[in-house]
Amino acid sequence: MTRAIEGIKGRAILKGALGAIIISFVLTLIITLTLHFSSLSESYIPALASLIFFVSILLGSTISSKIAGSKGLLHGLGVGLTYLAFALIIGSFIAGDTFSGGLLAKKILYAVLGSGLGGVIGVGLAGN
């Protein structure tokens, strides 16, 4: 029998993950328009995609942990893993193939770092 972790608020995690997805779409739209209407090289796309991934998880985890008010690392990690799963599923449909081990490791690292940092920031903001 499994037991839920006491104090974890699933609704806060879902709101944070939804926030991360919305932030990701908005940032992608902004960067797409910037690249289209400027002379910036498309060679920046991989770095910008990684930045969007990290910032979306960071802000989504902040939202989740602020709503929850406690256990920021766990709420943040919940958002990070949810967003990572969403990104991998959508990416597999778009790319049509699997991710390399290096790319997957990089995404996991960004998800853990962004979600942990966002979780800590969110709990700090909840105290104010």
DSSP 18: H
Residue 84 lies in a domain: yes
Residue 81 lies in a domain: yes
Distance from C-alpha of 43 to C-alpha of 113, rounded to nearest angstrom: 25
Residue 90 lies in a domain: yes
Question: Which among 78, 41, 48 has a CA at the least distance from the CA of 61?
Answer: 78
Residue 4 lies in a domain: no
pLDDT tens for 9-31 read 889 999 999 999 999 999 999 99
Residue 79 lies in a domain: yes
The total domain count for the chain is: 1
pTM exceeds cut of 0.95: no
Give me the DSSP letters along 53-119. HHHHHHHHHHHHHHHH-S-HHHHHHHHHHHHHHHHHHHHHHHH-SPPPHHHHHHHHHHHHHHHHHHH
Domain that holds residue 18: 11-126
pLDDT tens for 30-55 read 999 998 898 888 888 889 999 999 99
**Is residue 73 packed enough to be buried (19+ CB in 10 Å), middle (13-18) or exposed (0-12)?**
middle
Residue 106 lies in a domain: yes
Residue 3 lies in a domain: no
pLDDT of residue 69: 87
